[in-house]
Amino acid sequence: MARTEIASLGEFGLIKRLTEKFPIVNNTTLKAVGDDAAVLDYKDKQCLVTTDLLLEGIHFDLIYMPLKHLGYKSAIVNFSDIYAMNGFPKQITVSLGVSKRFSVEDLEDFYAGLRLACEEHGVDLVGGDTSASVTGLTISITCLGEGEAKNIVYRNTAKENDLICVSGNLGAAYMGLQLLEREKSVFANESNAQPDFSGKEYILQRQLRPEARKDIVKQLQDKAILPTAMIDISDGLSSELMHICTLSKCGCRIYEDKIPIDFQTASMAEEFNMNLVTAALNGGEDYELLFTIPLALHDKLIDIDDVTVIGHICKESMGLCLVTRDEQEFPLKAQGWNSLSTES
């Protein structure tokens, strides 16, 4: 495939080429790309804003992360933050720092992934910036969403006796990352080695192409279930649950045998001789929703697909504990992903 140098298009030519295929789908978007600023009109809705910064070598590795998948994932991690507020994403701005090793076609692959995520979630691209970089690829995305004031859910409002719920299953993205890192290491020592990913497609998908749980938010609203607190699981179940409990000034009990785990996750953990529950608690990048609901809403909850009750909120004095299958209690620790840690 022919390679087009970014410099040959210039900044405005590049912006036009990368963004002209993004249609406007929200009536809150009055003006998108093409002026000094986007113009949005939320009227009687409250506006939600979140930003994520992704750095090559810290948050992603292009040795095994295709640019189209990276574009998709970069958008999804922002959408997930909006869904965690019980809102819906509507617009994004995308800023890139790009080195000379990338061509226009490379960036088109990235934007193709972005566009797919936007199409699936009904989001408009309304602006951003592009700059030269000497330190690898840098991605900064800001997402704006909307929500009814009475429906927005925070982290600090969990109540004693609330049920603790999670969507989907946990630990799969982390095990997918371990698999990719292992094959990267093998390839570094033996360039002719061919990875065998058969039977491991699900955990790879969870790492390379995660999903934001719009479906869960819609089902909760359809069933008139308003969570008392909610957060998305980006850094690991243990870390996220500690955020909710610390801010809500409460304790919790979650049960080992209730934590939802996929078969491929369990199989991969066994292959790596890793503790499966530790991977589920601390792996991160699942982008599932962790939320609490009043006990009285349990009967409504059971009709919602792909949600599991894993524990309950208790008094702050009781602490935060994992209850094992043999009924022992162990304090939860925040051992999830930390990009500022030298050990991450």
Q: Is the pLDDT assigned to residue 338 strictly greater than 70? A: no
Residue with tokens 């998709």: 72
**Token pair listed for 125:** 């691209």
Question: How far is 131 from 96, CA to CA, in rounded Å?
Answer: 6
- Residues with Cβ within 8 Å of residue 144, at least 6 apart in sequence: 40, 47, 48, 49, 89, 90, 91, 92
Partners of residue 309 on adjacent β-strands: 165
122, 25 in Cβ contact below 8 A?
yes
Q: Across residues 226-247, what is the average pLDDT?
A: 96
Going by the DSSP 8-state scheme, the letter that residue 341 receives in this structure is -
> Which pairs with CB-CB distance under 8 Å and at least 24 residues apart come from 296-304?
297/163, 297/225, 298/163, 300/223, 300/224, 300/225, 301/163, 301/165, 301/223, 301/225, 303/223, 304/216, 304/219, 304/220, 304/223, 304/225
Q: Quick one: pLDDT at residue 46?
A: 92
Q: pLDDT per residue over 105-159, tens digit each?
A: 999 999 999 999 999 999 999 999 999 898 889 999 999 999 999 999 999 999 9
**Token pair listed for 329:** 């209690």
Q: Quick one: pLDDT at residue 335?
A: 64
Q: Quick one: pLDDT at residue 124?
A: 97
Q: Domains plus CATH for the chain?
A: 6-147 (3.30.1330.10), 163-331 (3.90.650.10)
Task: Give the three-class secondary structure for 145.
Answer: strand
Q: pLDDT per residue over 22-69, tens digit each?
A: 989 998 999 888 767 778 888 888 999 999 999 999 999 999 999 999
Nearest partner of 60 among 50, 71, 44, judged by Cα = 71
> How many Cβ atoms sit within 10 Å of the Cβ of residue 317?
7
Q: Is the pLDDT assigned to residue 326 strictly greater than 70? A: yes
Q: Is the pLDDT assigned to residue 162 strictly greater than 80? A: yes
Q: Across residues 152-179, what is the average pLDDT?
A: 97
321, 246 in Cβ contact below 8 A?
no
Q: Across residues 70-85, what is the average pLDDT?
A: 97
- 157-191 b/e (C-beta count within 10 Å ≥ 16 → b): ebeeebbbbbbbbbbbbbbbbbbbeebeeeeeeee
Question: How far is 62 from 56, CA to CA, in rounded Å?
Answer: 8
Sheet holding 163-167, edge to edge: 229-232, 289-293, 163-167, 307-314, 251-255, 320-323, 329-331
101, 133 in Cβ contact below 8 A?
no
- Position 3 confidence tier, pLDDT thresholds 50, 70, 90: confident
